[in-house]
Amino acid sequence: MIGSQTRRRRAPAPPAQGPRGSAACHDLIRTLYERAPHTTLYTPFCKIRQRLETCSFLGSTDGRHLCAALAYSRDAVEFSWAAPGRRDTLQNLLGQLAGRIGSPAFLPVLEGGSRSWARRLEMPLRDRCFRALHTGEAATGELPSDYCFRDVEPQADLSAAARLMNAAYASLPDFMTSERLEAMIASDYYFPGGWFFLIGRGERPVGLALSGYDREMDEGFIDWIELLPRQRQRGLGRMLIGECLRRLQHARWVTVAGSLDAPFVVGDLYRSCGFRQTAHWSILGTSTEERRRSSP
């Protein structure tokens, strides 16, 4: 959440706290996001837009310009930012925040620099993820003749899609449900044609792609790429990604996010498909029990 693409630009005037401050923070996030989405937020803007609109705001200025900012809820920091060379100011803001909400349960931090910003904060690490921006050509190859793509039908195919996703993650049985997929379809970033199966021999789904489109930001993003284990290492993942990019040609840019702790190196897969600008994020946070013990 520390925008790295702000050199030679003046930061916006400092917003006040309260409703007006929240609106100004929303504008700041939008400005930074349009310059470099992958280094501004750990996830597509549309996925946390509603949470950001209800956040409180905390900012610090040097008397004229904004130096650092936070958008936070009751137990989480959704967005943090520091002007170049002002990470210490952001760390001071996080210290002030501790008096308001205690130790956050959720704090995404952009990694980088000789000393990791995440390590300096001395908070438990919950996860690490990458965020990448598509900037090159996708070398996806040609789909074998015995495979084809077929759109996911929102009413008829959700159970089959959930089963395939669960089969692709043997370590997370039954993590996906048709109800969860229904909720995703009801979101404002779902668009017809963004979800599709890879059909293999016997007319059976062997892969799945879920992509989304944010109309406000004109951003396309790849949400899920799944292949059954026996279908991997054949180049089919690249073909699913290439088909997503083809279906998102109308978007101004396309991003992807994923875990750095995945059992296979998904970052290499996306780099081979033209996602050349990559940022790494640490997701920090304390558990409910840890926050209960530290509270007065």
For residue range 13-32, what is the model confidence (pLDDT) as tens digits?
433 444 445 666 778 899 99
Euclidean distance between the first and the last CA atom of the chain, given in angstroms as a whole number: 29
Is the pLDDT at 12 greater than 60? The verdict is no
pTM for the predicted model, two decimal places:
0.84
Q: In the chain, where do the E strands start and end?
A: 56-61, 66-72, 77-82, 107-110, 125-134, 148-151, 195-199, 205-214, 219-227, 253-259, 275-284
Work out the pLDDT band at 262, boundaries 50, 70, 90. low
For the chain, list the domains and their CATH numbers.
Answer: 19-131+282-294 (3.40.630), 148-273 (3.40.630.30)
Structure-model confidence comparison of residues 224 and 140, the more confident one: 224
Mean of per-residue pLDDT scores for the chain: 85
Nearest to 78 by CA among 290, 249, 281: 281
For residue range 160-206, what is the model confidence (pLDDT) as tens digits?
999 999 999 877 778 899 999 999 999 999 999 999 999 998 889 99
DSSP letter at 106 equals B
Is the pLDDT at 266 greater than 80? The verdict is no
- In Å, how far from its chain's centre is CA 73? 18
The pLDDT of residue 63 is 81
Task: In whole angstroms, give the CA distance from residue 208 to residue 168.
Answer: 10
For residue range 104-159, what is the model confidence (pLDDT) as tens digits?
999 999 988 656 777 888 889 999 999 999 997 766 678 889 999 999 999 899 99
